[in-house]
Amino acid sequence: MNTPANALDMSSFWMPFTANRQFKKEPRIFVGAEGMHYTKEDGTKLIDSSSGLWCVNAGHGRKEIADAVHRQLLTLDYSPAFQTGQPGAFDMAARVGRLAPKNLDRVFFVNSGSEAVDTALKIALAYHKAKGESGRIRFIGREKGYNGVGFGGVSVGGLVNNRRQFAAQLLPSVDHLPHTFDLKKNAFSRGQPEHGIEKADALEGIIALHGADTIAAVIVEPVAGSAGVLPPPKGYLERLREITSKHGILLIFDEVITGFGRVGAPFASQRFGVTPDMITCAKGITNGVLPMGAVLASRTIHDALMVGPESAMELFHGYTYSAHPTACAAGLATLDIYEREGLLTRVKDIEKYYEDAVHALKGKPHVIDIRNIGLMAAVELAPRDGAPGARGYELLQDCFYNHGLHIRTTGDIIALAPPLIAKTSDIDDIFAKLGAALDRLK
């Protein structure tokens, strides 16, 4: 049984991404989860409006995933990554490759989104080098981008809180595109905002400044997630693709959040009809139950690295737990569920309902913007004078203690991304609870 919060020894666990001192005064503890809900220690349930952390796409407690992992542990618990393999890794790569956009079916497994990003950046450098263009070493990320917490990901990312403690030690030779968020022109937009395609043209400026032959890759999230759900303006991703292709620069889509059905297609790339050269993914790949991530690389990139003597390693990179047997088993069982239940495309059927439900919060106290795409949405609140983030935190607490609702907040932005199994009644429940909490907010 779980220890109740008031009896927990809180001295050792240094919680990630958490205000630890504040948390210890007001611990919010989950002890169980099933379907659309988390359970608190008093047995009450909270509806999960964020799929855990954008990952539990098929809902919580899926028995067939648990059974597959259990079977795998009893059959082959671990298999070393060096020069040996296990069947699940090949099966999982082939399955993911079949879901990927055309030609992006060469799959390198890692254990997280952060590792996927750092791996993709390394592959980009190795690719250019293999082609004899070793001068291509610069990366271009985007303001407000979240690309994980590895040094590579923080360097190309554009969130000040992630960067400032490490600023002097980040990767050199990184530029950032301007973000596309524009509250004046695009507030309360539904789906892709009308304005902002011109922000992609800044890429031409950066290229002109450094020379195309110094630039390895551009990396963006097709829909920025952690910064608070910022869908790409119409035409923007297409324009990035056009410019990168023209200059021989690789385009990487960081789909750690958008991968596996979040926007109504296996990958956002397919929804937006723009094919990058690499995709990074994680989270939903195992329904969040075991750590796994992947880089999907184009055949062109992969094949360019398959050079030299056959006995040589083409890419000297990998992790002890790359393609871990249990993660592959969880991933295969997850993909079975996604495919059987149509979850990778289901969002198309409920997107309009979800959109109307979230936009019905317009006019609630302090709401200054609402935006959405697929089964992702953000409600942005005006910060309280002199206390940015205070309203977001108060809402989080009120939802947890008084409304049976689990929300994810980033400062004063509420990011909503329920499991893809959500019924319309679940969506109603989430927004009724959130609406009531907003009404009480000071």
Contact flag: residue 220 with ligand PMP (CB under 6 A) = no
* Residue-level length of the chain: 442
Contact flag: residue 114 with ligand PMP (CB under 6 A) = yes
Q: How far is the CB of 288 from ligand PMP (least distance, A)?
A: 10
Starting at the edge strand that comes first in sequence, how are the strands of the sheet with 367-373 ordered?
367-373, 376-381, 413-416, 408-410
Q: How far is the CB of 254 from ligand PMP (least distance, A)?
A: 4
* CA dist., res. 435 & res. 364, Å (int): 7
Nearer to ligand PMP (CB atom), residue 114 or residue 269? 114
Q: Evaluate whether 223 touches 257 at the Cβ level (below 8 Å).
A: yes
Cβ count within 10 A of residue 6:
8
Contact flag: residue 226 with ligand PMP (CB under 6 A) = yes
Contact flag: residue 158 with ligand PMP (CB under 6 A) = no
Q: How far is the CB of 283 from ligand PMP (least distance, A)?
A: 7
Provide DSSP, 128-164.
Answer: HHHTT-TT--EEEEETT----SSHHHHHH---HHHHG
SS3 sequence of 343-379: HHHHHHHHHHHHHHHHHCCCCCCCEEEEEEECCEEEE
* CA dist., res. 23 & res. 397, Å (int): 11
Applying CB under 6 A, among 108, 109, 127, 146 the residue interacting with ligand PMP is: 146
Contact flag: residue 394 with ligand PMP (CB under 6 A) = no
Q: Which residue is nearest to ligand PMP (CB)?
A: 113
SS3 sequence of 227-296: CCCECCCCCHHHHHHHHHHHCCCEEEEECCCCCCCCCCCCCHHHHHCCCCCEEEECHHHHCCCCCCEEEE
Rg (C-alpha) for the chain, rounded Å, is 22
* CA dist., res. 175 & res. 81, Å (int): 34
Stretch 323-362 residues interacting with ligand PMP (CB under 6 A) = none
Nearer to ligand PMP (CB atom), residue 107 or residue 257? 257
Stretch 396-435 residues interacting with ligand PMP (CB under 6 A) = none
* CA dist., res. 93 & res. 98, Å (int): 9
Contact flag: residue 113 with ligand PMP (CB under 6 A) = yes
Q: How far is the CB of 406 from ligand PMP (least distance, A)?
A: 16
Position 28, amino acid: R
Nearer to ligand PMP (CB atom), residue 305 or residue 419? 419
Which x/- pattern over 243-282 shows residues binding ligand PMP (rule: CB under 6 A)?
-----------x-xx------------------------x
Contact flag: residue 118 with ligand PMP (CB under 6 A) = no
Residues in the interface with ligand PMP (CB under 6 A) total 14
Residue with tokens 């990366």: 139
Q: Three-state DSSP class for 101?
A: coil
Q: How far is the CB of 273 from ligand PMP (least distance, A)?
A: 20
Q: Which stretch binds ligand PMP (CB under 6 A): 61-69, 140-148, 162-170, 347-355?
A: 140-148
Nearer to ligand PMP (CB atom), residue 46 or residue 121? 121
Nearer to ligand PMP (CB atom), residue 51 or residue 226? 226
Q: Which stretch binds ligand PMP (CB under 6 A): 128-136, 141-149, 181-189, 264-272?
A: 141-149
Q: Which stretch binds ligand PMP (CB under 6 A): 111-119, 193-201, 301-309, 394-402?
A: 111-119
Position 281, amino acid: C
Nearer to ligand PMP (CB atom), residue 151 or residue 188? 151
Instruction: Show the tokens assigned to 254.
Output: 């960081």
* CA dist., res. 297 & res. 278, Å (int): 5
- Residue 432 CB-density burial (10 A; 0-12 exposed, 13-18 middle, 19+ buried): middle
Q: How far is the CB of 1 from ligand PMP (least distance, A)?
A: 29
Nearer to ligand PMP (CB atom), residue 33 or residue 117? 117
Q: How far is the CB of 102 from ligand PMP (least distance, A)?
A: 22
Q: How far is the CB of 150 from ligand PMP (least distance, A)?
A: 8
Give the pairing type, strands 293-297 and 106-110.
Answer: antiparallel
Q: How far is the CB of 124 from ligand PMP (least distance, A)?
A: 16
Q: Evaluate whether 410 touches 47 at the Cβ level (below 8 Å).
A: no
Applying CB under 6 A, among 141, 148, 231, 331 the residue interacting with ligand PMP is: 148
Which x/- pattern over 169-208 shows residues binding ligand PMP (rule: CB under 6 A)?
----------------------------------------
Which residues make up the interface to ligand PMP (CB under 6 A)? 112-114, 117, 146-148, 221, 225-226, 254, 256-257, 282
